[in-house]
Chains A and B, each alone.
Chain A
């Protein structure tokens, strides 16, 4: 990881206009991504993590969703304002995205070779033969045995873990600067999960790819990520280097999350901890700290205004009235 910032997300807002109201799925998210950095975005279901990342490459389904504000700065351009053909030259090429369920994310009616070659031919301008050779190389790197034979097979002929390896190979085939991985291991068995994560770590280190890893598992981010963003109800509530965040979590939500992880070294007989209450419905959410109903340290100001982000030094920022003076 270097100090060079390659992606800047500034105050990104993505809203969905539904019959029941405006869903503020992403409501003011900001973070920076450095070259070669692995950034983890953690949060519960519905916290807005997936939508944030779809917004980066502007793949929000247009009705009913729309990017309502903010900037995504990459290579000197604002991706939010970019026209579609320039966006397409970035997708799959400079910024690549892989998804959660490899069974449904690969086209069951097309061979793997077809699906991999089309990306390479499109972005790297190679001919089909050369593209196929490159694809086979990527499959080999991804740990698929006998790739020359398997590349001509169909997705249903691969196991779940193998399919995800194929997805990763496909995602990295054009050597992107950024790989966005949306819960890449949630659909897999635990043992395979570890393998896939190791693979990702290895490959991205080798290729120098920056990674945005979305997950709901603290264990995964702890092992993989340099930096972590914690999201809640469409906002980043805390952000910082992994070690620092785990050692000194500031936001009550982060603290609650860490406390909820069962530990092997605790004495048995204690109840497992869970944060009380439910995550909010983000339809027409008022301007307040969305966590306050579940927060033991909630104050009066928390009900009235969303906290301003405070930089605690060392790249660690938190949005909580406990650390900022309310005006």
Chain B
């Protein structure tokens, strides 16, 4: 078992390597440089700037230099926020985004599975139709519509929740509610639909028929025999879901003025702030890759057939 975990862990390394390399060269390939949108500076100053940031060196040398820095945990200076290093910016904003993402995903998983269970057990009755209609709304309406709508209803009209801001502001923990709900909605919808479909399929399985033939109560059949197998696809989904949620948080952060990494990410792309962009990609990829790894491990614990492959 530990060998299995170790092997999976080791395979993360080439993935990260490719990601870093790919991103580095991709970004450098784009037209324009980090200083091209500045106010017109003289040729001399431009050259000095480039030299300061080692950008006059050949590309591969820059790459190696960068790689070395990253391994030491230094992401370099930010090109657009001149007073801060990337490390500063990242350490301030990343935890915010992560917290938002994790909260949203937890909401999505909890409610998604619950709704999925109820829907599947009351198939084709009103609970099912109601829940699944809400779920379809969740995957059809974009986040930047539901966000402002929720703001309109709960903050501006009903005044029970703050319009924007984060928990370090006036409203404290209340400020987390609307953005987390907004962000969780599409994933809740997807998980609800997925668990419903999966449970329905397992309910038709032979081993569920055996369980019923043994005289077990339906609630026991569902809780003990059906759920374990049926929810495995949901576990698998968590990896890609987390990836998506990160991108979703970009929109939600801008709607609710949340000081996360999302808000500065788009700007930094437009400004060609190489170091900031690279740092974002690397950290997000790392998180993603680690999440996928964790999900795989959890899955192998839940499905007894896997570890023995």
Contact = CB atoms under 8 A, between A and B. Distances in A.
A110 interface: yes
Given A105-B206, A105-B207, A106-B207, A59 B213 contact: yes
A277 B220 CA distance: 46
B224 A110 contact: yes
A91 B213 CA distance: 6
B228 A110 contact: yes
B229 interface: yes
B229 A88 contact: no
Interface string A67-105: 000000000000000000001111111001111010011
A92 B224 contact: no
Interface string A102-129: 0011111110000000110011000000
A157 B309 CA distance: 11
B88 interface: no
A108 B303 CA distance: 8
B31 interface: no
B210 interface: yes
A87 B217 CA distance: 10
A43 to B, nearest CB: 20
A180 B113 CA distance: 37
A133 B153 CA distance: 62
B215 to A, nearest CB: 4
A154 interface: yes
Contact of A90 (B215, B220, B303, B305): B215
Contacts of B302: 109
Contacts of B225: 107, 110
A109 B210 CA distance: 14
Contacts of B304: 108-109, 154, 156
Contacts of A93: 215
Interface centre among B211, B215, B225 (most CB of A within 10 A): B215
Nearest to B212: A59
A192 B246 CA distance: 55
B228 A154 contact: no
B224 A91 contact: no
A105 B213 CA distance: 11
Contacts of B228: 109-110
A123 B213 CA distance: 13
Contacts of B206: 99, 101, 104-105
Contact of B211 (A101, A107, A157): A107
A170 B216 CA distance: 14
Contacts, number: 74
B170 interface: no
A106 B210 contact: yes
B214 interface: yes
Interface string A146-167: 0000000010110000000001
Given A109-B302, A109-B303, A154-B304, A104 B214 contact: no
Nearest to B207: A107
Of the four ranges (under 10, 10 to 19, 20 to 34, 35 or more), the interface on chain B belongs to 20 to 34
A107 B223 CA distance: 13
B61 interface: no
A92 B229 contact: no
Contacts of A87: 215
A108 B305 contact: yes
A119 B214 CA distance: 6
Given A110-B225, A110-B228, A122 B207 contact: no
A289 B304 CA distance: 51
A88 B215 contact: yes
A164 B302 CA distance: 24
A99 B214 contact: no
Interface in B207-265: 207, 209-217, 220, 224-225, 228-229
Interface in A161-197: 167, 170
A154 B209 CA distance: 18
A92 B205 contact: no
A48 B213 CA distance: 19
A92 B207 contact: no
Contacts of A57: 213
B35 to A, nearest CB: 59
Contact of A59 (B209, B224, B308): B209
A232 to B, nearest CB: 25
A244 B220 CA distance: 46
A92 B305 contact: no
A57 B212 CA distance: 10
A88 B228 CA distance: 23
Nearest to A154: B304
A186 to B, nearest CB: 13
B217 A88 contact: yes
A57 B210 CA distance: 12
Contacts of B305: 108, 154, 156
Interface of B: 205-207, 209-217, 220, 224-225, 228-229, 302-305, 308
20 contacts: A59-B212, A59-B213, A88-B216, A91-B215, A92-B214, A93-B215, A101-B206, A105-B207, A107-B229, A108-B229, A108-B303, A108-B305, A109-B302, A109-B303, A110-B225, A118-B214, A119-B214, A119-B216, A122-B214, A122-B215
Closest 4 interchain pairs by CB? A92-B214, A91-B215, A92-B215, A104-B206
